[in-house]
Structure 1
Amino acid sequence: MKRKFPLHGAGLLVLGLVLTSCGDDNGNGEELSLTLAYDQPQDSSYGIMADEFADTLYELSDGTIEVGQYPGGSLGDEPETIEDARAGSIDLVFASMGNISTAVPEAAVFSLHYLYEDEDHLMAGTTDPQVWEIFADMVSESAGDLHGLGVTTAGFRSTYATEPIEDMGDLEGVRFRIQPSTTEEEYWGAYGALPTTVDFSELYTALQTGAVDGAENTPAFYQIAQHHEVATYLSLTQHIGNQIGSVISQDTWESLSEEQQEWVTEAFHAGAEAGADAALEANDVALDELQEAGVEVLEPDVSEMQDIALGLTDEEAEALGEYAQEVVEMTRSLVE
Structure 2
Amino acid sequence: MKKVLSLGLILILAMSLTLTGCGSKEVATEEAASKPIKIVAAHNQTSPENPYQIGMLKFKEVAESKSNGAFEVEVFAGSLGTSESELVEKLKLGAADVVVVSPGFMSQTGIEEIDLFALPYLFNNYEHWGKVVDGEVGKKMAKLIQEKSNNEFKVIGYWTAGVRHYYGNKPLTSMKDLEGMKIRTQTSGVVAKYWTQMGSIPTSVAWGELYQSLQQNIVDGAENAYPYFVQQNHHKTDNGKYITETGHDYTTRFLLANAKKFDAMTPEQQKTFLEAADAAVKAERDALYAQEEEYKNIAIKDGAEVNEIDRAPFIELAQPLQDEAAKEIGIEDLLKQVRDLK
**Could you say which TM-score interval applies, normalised by the shorter chain?**
0.7 to 0.9
Q: TM-score, normalised by structure 1?
A: 0.86
Q: Does 1:206 align with 2:213?
A: yes
Alpha-carbon offset, residue 75 of structure 1: 2.4
User: Counterpart in 1 of 2:15?
Assistant: none
Alpha-carbon offset, residue 49 of structure 1: 0.8
Q: Does 1:49 align with 2:55?
A: yes
Say which is worse superposed, 309-318 or 93-102, in terms of deviation. 93-102
The residue type equivalent to 2:95 in the other structure is S
The residue type equivalent to 1:138 in the other structure is L
Between the two proteins, what is the percent identity of the paired residues?
Answer: 28
Alpha-carbon offset, residue 251 of structure 1: 3.3
Aligned partners of 2:169 and 2:44: how far apart in 1?
24
Inter-CA distance 306–98: structure 2 relative to 1 (3 Å threshold):
same
Query: Highest relative contact order (Cα 8 Å, sep 6+), 1 or 2?
Result: 1
User: Counterpart in 2 of 1:255?
Assistant: 264
User: Counterpart in 2 of 1:235?
Assistant: 244
Question: Computing the radius of gyration over CA atoms, which structure comes out larger, 1 or 2?
Answer: 2
Answer whether contact 1:42 1:72 (CA < 8 A) is retained.
no
Aligned partners of 1:288 and 1:22: how far apart in 2?
58
Query: Which segments of 5 or more consecutive residues in structure 2 lack a partner in the other structure?
Result: 1-26
The residue type equivalent to 1:106 in the other structure is E
Q: How does 1:158-307 map to 2 (within 5 A)?
A: 158-179=165-186, 181-230=188-237, 231-307=240-316
Say which is worse superposed, 252-261 or 50-59, in terms of deviation. 252-261
Aligned partners of 1:46 and 1:300: how far apart in 2?
29
Answer whether contact 1:94 1:245 (CA < 8 A) is retained.
yes
Q: Any idea what SS the aligned residue of 1:154 has?
A: coil
User: Counterpart in 1 of 2:330?
Assistant: 321
The residue type equivalent to 1:172 in the other structure is E
Query: Which segments of 5 or more consecutive residues in structure 1 lack a partner in the other structure?
Result: 1-20
The residue type equivalent to 1:212 in the other structure is V
Alpha-carbon offset, residue 92 of structure 1: 1.4
The residue type equivalent to 1:37 in the other structure is A
Q: Does 1:136 align with 2:142?
A: yes
Inter-CA distance 58–180: structure 2 relative to 1 (3 Å threshold):
farther
**Count of residues paired in the alignment:** 311
Answer whether contact 2:166 2:222 (CA < 8 A) is retained.
yes
CA-to-partner distance for each residue in 1:39-76, whole Å, 9 max, x for gaps?
12232111111111111111221122021111135423
Answer whether contact 1:150 1:268 (CA < 8 A) is retained.
yes
Inter-CA distance 79–181: structure 2 relative to 1 (3 Å threshold):
farther
Q: How does 1:325-336 map to 2 (within 5 A)?
A: 325-335=332-342
Consecutive aligned runs of 4 or more in structure 1 exceeding 3 Å deviation: 21-24, 27-30
Say which is worse superposed, 251-260 or 299-308, in terms of deviation. 251-260
Alpha-carbon offset, residue 138 of structure 1: 2.4
Answer whether contact 1:168 1:302 (CA < 8 A) is retained.
no
The residue type equivalent to 2:274 in the other structure is T
Higher helix fraction: Structure 1 or Structure 2? 2
Aligned partners of 1:71 and 1:95: how far apart in 2?
13
Aligned partners of 1:51 and 1:229: how far apart in 2?
29
